[in-house]
């Protein structure tokens, strides 16, 4: 699998991870800031959470890591948490805002 195919699979996998408190996946919520696929199969994901004190932070990071590392061609996943810039409702997709009644 080439880098573009791996990137597609990573995006697909990320769309199966949900914030337990909000019934929307982390991509549509706007929590994923960056994904990079290196030639050697390493994947870097930089993401945030809806709030710095999120009690499920560890489990979301673990789930993202496990789902990415299960993809064929991925050697390792490096999932990094950032709060810069801080998340806000404007980062959500239009679909997510509609689903949650923010429009």
pLDDT tens digits along 18-58: 988 788 999 999 999 999 999 999 999 999 998 888 887 88
Residue in the structure block whose two tokens are 């706007």: 30
Q: What is the pLDDT of residue 103?
A: 67
Q: CA gyration radius for the chain?
A: 14
**What b/e string do you get for 68-98 counting C-beta neighbours within 10 Å, with b at 16 or more?**
beebeebeebebebeeeeebeeebbeeebbe
Yes or no: say if 54 and 69 are a contact pair by the CB < 8 Å rule.
no
Give pTM, 2 decimals. 0.92
């Amino acid at each position: 699998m080439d880098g573009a195919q791996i990137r597609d699979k990573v995006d697909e996998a990320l769309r199966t991870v949900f914030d337990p408190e909000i019934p929307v996946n982390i991509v549509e919520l706007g929590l994923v800031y960056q994904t990079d696929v290196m030639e050697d199969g390493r994947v870097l994901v930089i993401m945030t959470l809806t709030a710095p004190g999120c009690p499920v932070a560890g489990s979301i990071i673990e789930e993202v890591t496990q789902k990415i590392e299960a993809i064929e061609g991925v050697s390792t996943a490096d999932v990094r948490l950032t709060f810069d810039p801080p998340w806000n409702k404007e980062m959500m997709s239009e679909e997510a805002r509609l689903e949650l009644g923010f429009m």
